[in-house]
Structure 1
Amino acid sequence: MSTKPSATLTERRKAATQLDIAHAAAELFATRGPDGTTAEEIARRAGVALRTFYRYFRSKQDAVSPLLADGADRWRSLLEAAEPGTPLPQALENAVSQALATPDDEAVRALLRTRGLLRAAADDPALRAVWYRVNQESEERLVPVLARLVGQDARSLEVRLAAAAATDAIRIALETWAGTEAGTQGPDSPAALALRCLHRLVGVMEPWGRQEAAGAEAR
């Protein structure tokens, strides 16, 4: 398990302010839509000055990026905690199941906020761009985590492919769920949909060398 330096008090305060702004933006987008919301209104709702808003975010849509990135950060942390050598499909499925679980009301609210943002993004190209950027950044950060899990057999191409497949599996599951009225639990929940996506992609995440060996035998 990797160790990370503790955040300083200044960094924690900065992160807390960014999250307050993100929550304010998400609430306003859910009720008014991005077009009906201004940066000034987001700053006022978050209790910060407009200059503080623009210190942290380039646009009103960018303000929700901490919330959208939170889920990816959580499941990546779960993967980082997995023991090296854990079969990759198993590690990914365990992490996704835990990250998208809703054991309490706050977890339910977090998923419902994501649903609201994804619905708002359907008609707002700038908000969609933030969502895609967050996923791209998550994919890039996932590569070294998967490489550590796979160990010495890791190959750059396969690790990058697995990172892309896993990230897209969760993205597609969340987007699909956001377009429905399904609950946060059950067969059509984000966790269930994400696991179904991962199962379809499990072939690219088999232990390294197995597919190549099969190909060599066939030749």
Structure 2
Amino acid sequence: MAARSLTERRKNETRLDIARTAASLFVADGLRATRAEDVARAAGVAPRTFYRYFATKEEAVAPLFAAGAQQWAEAVRRAPEGLSVPEALRHAVTDALAAEDAAAVASLDWVRSLLRMARESAALRAVWADACHASEETLLALLMERVSAAEPTPELRLAAGVASAAVRVAVESWAAGDAPAGGGGGLAALAVRCLGALDDFPWP
């Protein structure tokens, strides 16, 4: 079990290394000019290793999108039990998207650059859409746990969908502008604002 866990960690680290390398090359050289082989070479892996993890060069940045979604999911899970669902969601985005250190700011800067590129790339938009869908499914499972639901009712699916959409709109709106990652005008504040627009929603 321990050996398998170590192997999985190494695989995840390799995936993230490739993702960061791909994002760096996309920003420096342009998405169209960058080949999967260029990413593999810069990441120090063989092309066959690259294709073992990713089917296309665009998919190589999926771990960067997934990392942010995972942070939000973990923050929802950590939210105090006494909070209502909307309170827990606002607490979670404040926690996960606060960008309080250099690593968090750098990660959000990658996301901003990639989402701007996605305007001109259907393949990159598809990667972002897949990440958003996966995040919504994770949130649905967390909401089920939070309200002790045995089944994913339509109401819970709707709650996960609108909450995920609010955060997605916040991320995309922030990425389209020039506001800093943190602070009062940062991403966390914008996400709280978008969730606040749902105050009249019938949360479970």
Does the TM-score normalized on the shorter chain lie above 0.5?
Answer: yes
Residues 79-122 of structure 1 show CA distances to partners (whole Å, capped at 9, x for unaligned) of 12234453001100010011111111111111111101101111
Task: Pick the aligned partner of 2:78 from 65, 68, 81.
Answer: 81
- Alignment-derived partner of residue 149 in structure 1: 146
Deviation at 1:27, TM superposition (A): 0.5
Give distance in 1, aligned partners of 2:202 and 2:106. 32
Instruction: Provide structure 2 residue ranges, at least 5 long, that are not aligned to the other structure.
Output: none
8 Å CA contact 1:26–1:64 kept in 2: the answer is: yes
Deviation at 1:155, TM superposition (A): 6.6
Go from structure 1 to structure 2 and tell me whether the alpha carbon gap of 1:7 and 1:173 turns closer, same or farther (over 3 Å shift): farther
- Alignment-derived partner of residue 214 in structure 1: none
Alignment of 1:7-86 (within 5 A): 8-84=5-81, 86=83
Give distance in 1, aligned partners of 2:70 and 2:58. 20
Task: Pick the aligned partner of 1:90 from 87, 91, 116.
Answer: 87
- Report runs of 4+ in structure 1 exceeding 6 Å deviation: none
- Alignment-derived partner of residue 212 in structure 1: none
Instruction: Provide structure 1 residue ranges, at least 5 long, that are not aligned to the other structure.
Output: 209-219
TM-score between both structures, scaled by the size of structure 2: 0.93
Q: Does the residue aligned with 2:200 lie in a helix, a strand or coil?
A: helix
Give distance in 1, aligned partners of 2:3 and 2:83. 27
Deviation at 1:202, TM superposition (A): 2.6
Q: Does the residue aligned with 2:159 lie in a helix, a strand or coil?
A: helix
Residues 29-80 of structure 1 show CA distances to partners (whole Å, capped at 9, x for unaligned) of 1122210110011001111000000000010000000110101101101112
Task: Pick the aligned partner of 2:121 from 124, 128, 135.
Answer: 124
Give distance in 1, aligned partners of 2:181 and 2:93. 14
Structure whose alpha-carbon radius of gyration is higher:
1
Indicate the percent of aligned positions where both proteins have the same amino acid: 46
Give distance in 2, aligned partners of 1:94 and 1:125. 33
Go from structure 1 to structure 2 and tell me whether the alpha carbon gap of 1:81 and 1:187 turns closer, same or farther (over 3 Å shift): closer
Go from structure 1 to structure 2 and tell me whether the alpha carbon gap of 1:166 and 1:7 turns closer, same or farther (over 3 Å shift): farther
What amino acid is the match of 1:15? Answer: N
- Alignment-derived partner of residue 135 in structure 2: 138
TM-score between both structures, scaled by the size of structure 1: 0.87
Cα RMSD (Å) of the superposition?
2.0
